[in-house]
Amino acid sequence: MRVTHLATRLPLHKHRNEKGMTLIEVVVALMILGMIMTILYAFLFMGISMYKRITVDTQIRNQGDIMFSQVITELKDAVYAQNMKDNGQDTGGIIYVKRAVDENGNYNPKEYVDEYSMTVEDLSQLTGDEEPYKKNNNGIVIRNVRNRTIEKTIDLSSMFTLELKDANQLRVSGFSATSDKMVHVRLAYRRNESRMLLPAEQSKFEINTNIPLFRIE
């Protein structure tokens, strides 16, 4: 019996599959991948920036709404207002008179309580008897005109700053009586350390409006 060796039945040369990517193809693929990743990153960064901006804007608007509502609450009982002056110059504050309330909580339009003042001040500068109201920011200070004691303060949370003056040292926050029945309110405020934040996180707002005082005869 004749035995044929298996090797003799196999081809002498085995052709390998040498198909693959050339260097140019690899470079082109990497360039396309890089472009796609850049576009995706840009959209992602834009989305994050918009989210941060909206979040900060919402926070600062809420702060302003709270502060302004407290001012309205304080002035809702006022029947008269005039500008505070120092040597004939307006100081950026007002003096106002509030209606008296009897023992039953009813307003008596013929009687007035003490006068009050409303100003925007640096709360960190408060000393002496006023030190319990001391804080490391600016705020609205309400005093009893007769004895000059502080009745209350209205300020923003520690994340935000109520500005007193701008870069030109012009007053940007304060109050003025446009008439004895109308108070003009201007309050500029921003997030603390805004100059160190990204542009998307920098927000500054201003309340600039009038509050009418209603006199009940």
Cβ pair 90, 84 in contact under 8 A: yes
Q: Give tens-digit pLDDT for 125-156.
A: 999 999 999 998 899 999 999 888 999 999 98
Going by their DSSP bridges, the two strands 160-163 and 174-179 should be labelled as: unpaired
Q: State which amino acid sits at residue 128.
A: G
3-state secondary structure of 13: coil
191: exposed, middle or buried (Cβ count in 10 Å: 0-12, 13-18, 19+): buried
Tokens of 217: 């005869």
3-state secondary structure of 121: strand
Tokens of 67: 């502060």
Mean pLDDT of the chain: 81
Q: Residue 43 pLDDT more than 80?
A: no
Question: What pLDDT is stored for residue 216 in this prediction?
Answer: 52
DSSP 47: H
Question: What pLDDT is stored for residue 215 in this prediction?
Answer: 57
Q: Give tens-digit pLDDT for 150-182.
A: 999 999 888 888 999 887 888 899 999 999 999
**For the whole model, what pTM was predicted?**
0.69
Place 199 in a pLDDT band, splitting at 50, 70 and 90.
Answer: low
